[in-house]
């Protein structure tokens, strides 16, 4: 629930914005579209929603308000990590859904939780897919945390909040 509150707060604060006022701010803002366009073509794969990635990136920018090129790159890294984490969740769901569909039709009488548990067990026994997904989830979670700490450390070093 906290992330929904943060998202809503970021949206409300973003709606109050009247855009950049300084020459530097306008210059930075003018390049945002180009940066996002290149990034989304690299990160968003077929079947994924580029607009959702753009919204994620915009929300992180609104929350962290990058002040220079280095911070902008770090915010893009955060968006990339979070996007990949969401992709992995989708892949995990798809893997379990496929396993549920492969089950014996007679097992349809069992509860959904039971069928999901059986699918998890079958997938773990017959494939390393879930193990690999889990490994990548851990990797992207650590990368996200490390990158966020870098943003705040850079601000401390430069005396910014």
Specify whether the CB–CB gap between 74 and 66 falls below 8 A.
yes
pLDDT tens per residue, range 13-36: 666 666 667 766 555 555 444 444
Q: Is the dihedral of CA 29, 10, 77, 44 positive or negative?
A: negative
pLDDT tens per residue, range 104-128: 777 666 888 888 888 888 877 778 8
- Write out the DSSP string of 68-107: SHHHHHHHHHHHHHHHHHHHHHHHHHHHHHHHHHHS-GGG
User: What average pLDDT does range 79-88 have in this prediction?
Assistant: 96
Question: Residue 1 pLDDT more than 50?
Answer: no
pLDDT given at position 2: 57
User: What average pLDDT does range 98-102 have in this prediction?
Assistant: 84
pLDDT given at position 23: 67
Q: Which two tokens stand for residue 76?
A: 């893009």
């Amino acid at each position: 629930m906290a992330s929904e509150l943060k998202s809503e707060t970021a949206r409300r604060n973003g709606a109050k914005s009247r855009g950049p006022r300084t020459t530097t701010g306008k210059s930075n803002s003018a390049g945002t579209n180009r940066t996002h366009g290149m990034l989304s073509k690299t990160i968003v794969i077929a079947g994924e929603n580029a607009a959702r990635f753009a919204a994620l990136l915009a929300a992180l920018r609104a929350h962290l308000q990058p002040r220079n090129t280095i911070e902008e790159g770090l915010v893009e890294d955060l968006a990339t990590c979070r996007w990949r984490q969401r992709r992995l969740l989708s892949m995990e769901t798809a893997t379990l859904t496929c396993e549920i569909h492969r089950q014996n039709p007679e097992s349809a009488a069992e509860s959904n939780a039971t069928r999901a548990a059986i699918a998890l067990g079958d997938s773990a026994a017959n494939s390393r897919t879930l193990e690999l997904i889990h490994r990548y989830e851990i990797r992207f979670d650590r990368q996200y945390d490390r990158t966020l700490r870098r943003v705040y450390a850079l601000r401390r070093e430069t005396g910014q909040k």
